[in-house]
Structure 1
Amino acid sequence: MTDESELVEQDGVGIDDALQRLWTPHRLAYIKGENKPEDDQPQGCPFCRLVEQDDADALIIARGVQVYAVLNLYPYNPGHLMVVPYRHVADYTELTEAETLELAEFTQRAMRVIRSVSGAHGFNIGMNQGVIAGAGIAAHLHQHLVPRWGGDSNFMPVIGHTKVLPELLAETRTLLADAWKSV
């Protein structure tokens, strides 16, 4: 382990620690709550704003009539996506029958797509209902689909408090969006 007295400042952008730490600077935006709506109104909701953007820029995998699939900007694993209703609704019990059905169908299809692209061994699927339950954006319901592989939890998340993602989100989005058309 390098002694702190041996660490060298490099151009004011950080400290050279000989790769003894792995950095995940993209997580800081999440920690700070950047782009998180300040109220429950649709105009401040990132899920409502996403659908107005180009699919590749918004990381949208596929669009349905009632819901869409989008990569999580702060993923737990590669391919971590969310199925989101277009309608700004907070509670699962408030979904219409058509929204509930398409959310379920998109979840099934997303599982098939991710398996075909990455060979996922399993999935964590769920939604946090309300702030108290851990919902980061409680005002707009969204279901998480996190692919899992045998041995995907190791010392990195346990000791290093970070997750290593082997590809860029744009690359993951392209793989899943292309596979969505054929699965």
Structure 2
Amino acid sequence: MNVWQLIAHDHAYLAHLIAESRYTFGGPAIHDREEVLGGLIDELAAHAEALEASLYAPLRHLDRTRQLAEDLHHEHAQFLGQLDAIARSRRGGFSSKTGMILDVALIGQHLRRYTQELIPAAQELLSPAQVDAAAHAFVRAKMQTLKARHGRRSDKLTLARIARACAVCAAAAGIGYLAGRSASAKGQKLLATSTR
């Protein structure tokens, strides 16, 4: 998978978690609802770290995309903080369906900015080598963040934990694919130069 496919996969999974989270509000706090919200927060945090390592870092060095990368970084911190506050308030038994709807709108707007502004600029400005490096950085950062956040939770097996484990496995498969693709491309270059 290239970095664009990895990001698209993440966005689809985040959209699924957002849709699930909409159904978790409005009633008393129960463990499964807390797990859905916790899973959404974990995935958003992992996505942010992966983008920070893969795209924000190189795009901050370019005049054209510096401000966009900074804006998206701050937006992400803002709604992740709001989701953390909602998770804390729900643990206290307070339910805020309206607050979650506002957060979902902010997250949706943020994801649209990625697809409509950041990704097209990155596709235009980054070299093929930078794109390959971004894919490797994305997978590495996401795996590290999910592993760190997963380790802080209890050992109870839930649907959200299984989903996170699947996401980590998909990220590992992505690394394997990228490594194979990279080795294959190097092999083709060597073959082309040896036949001349």
TM-score of the aligned structures, taking structure 1 as reference length: 0.31
Query: Higher RCO, 1 or 2 (CA under 8 Å, sep at least 6)?
Result: 2
Name the structure with the higher helix share: 2
Name the structure with the higher strand share: 1
TM-score of the aligned structures, taking structure 2 as reference length: 0.30
